Amino acid sequence: MTASTAPARPTPAGPPALGGVGQSARDSLVVAKRNLLRMSRIPEVVIFGLIQPIMFVVLFSYVFGGSMNVGGSTNSEVYREFLMAGIFAQTVTFATAGAGAGIAEDMHKGLIDRFRSLPMARGAVLTGRTLADLVQTALTLVVLAVVAALVGWRFHEGLPKALAAFGLLLLLGYAFTWVGALIGLSVRTPEAATSGGLVWLFPVTFVSNAFVDSSNMTSWLRHIADWNPFSATVQACRELFGNPGVVQSDAWPMQHPVLASLIYSVIIIALFRTLAVRKYRNSAG
């Protein structure tokens, strides 16, 4: 009789060199690939994801454009240039809802159980999902930038600064998908994740400098807008694009928007990634 702990057959040895970070990255990419394949098979989702911000561009610039006051100017062309940073930022945050719904659906259908029973890196299911969403967000931004250019938006500070602005936008979007991941793990159904993922975005994106000049707000609302992480990214983009409507304010994030945007996004990722991964490990499904 052999030793009591000997299994019936040798267990399949994984590549032993890949522990820790290497395995984590590899597993995340496997899951990201899976989610991207999924997206390519359900193009409707991607297309609706594109239609929505384009619709906002058109509605805001033509419906509100004539009656808006940006830095003393009521010219609708000025408003259109002003608006784009806000629409870009709002668009990247809407990726939250997709991430949440996708994860809730995986829980619902038992796929999360399958993943949790596999010898894979513990954060990889969520990291893979958020990376796939990042790719989708980048794609959306490209299309949206073209549409924005068509209605008259331009960047005036050179390509490197414009790319830096898009980098900040993607980072913000990535941060928000981790919030979505946590929501997706916390609700019972994909439908709840979709609405739960969207509902809080409205105050976050509207109590900000995204669509109106926040210096026209009443003072308490204005303070919220000035310190809103979302506003920091919008302000940073306007500076980097050289677009009008940069808010004049004493608030630190409004004075150092690029740095503030980076700090906010990193904090959101660190916090919500930790919470989401913990929730994932303990989720009873």
CB-nearer residue toward other proteins: 16 or 72: 16
Residues 157, 175, 253, 141, CA torsion sign: positive
E strand map for the chain: none
Q: Which residues pair with 73 in a beta bridge?
A: 70
Q: How far is CA 217 from the centre of its chain?
A: 26
Question: What are 70's strand-pairing partners?
Answer: 73
Distance CA 137, CA 125 (A): 19
Is position 11 an interface residue for other proteins (rule: CB under 8 A)?
yes
| Residue choice 42, 43, 220, 250 for contact with other proteins (CB under 8 A) | 42
Binders in 101-120 for other proteins, by CB under 8 A: 109-111, 113-120
Instruction: Give the residue among 168, 197, 198, 199 at the shortest CA–CA distance from 265.
Output: 168
Using CA atoms of 172, 100, 192, 48 in order, give the dihedral in degrees to the nearest 10: 80
Does residue 1 bind other proteins (CB under 8 A)? yes
| 272 sits near other proteins (criterion: CB under 8 A) | no
Residue 278 interacts with other proteins (CB under 8 A): yes or no: no
Q: Which of 24, 25, 34, 138 binds other proteins (CB under 8 A)?
A: 34
Nearer to other proteins, 126 or 162 (CB): 126
| Residue ranges in 121-180 that form contacts with other proteins under rule CB under 8 A | 124
- Binding-site ranges for other proteins (CB under 8 A): 1, 4-9, 11-12, 14-15, 18, 23, 26-27, 30-31, 33-34, 37-38, 41-42, 109-111, 113-120, 124, 284-285
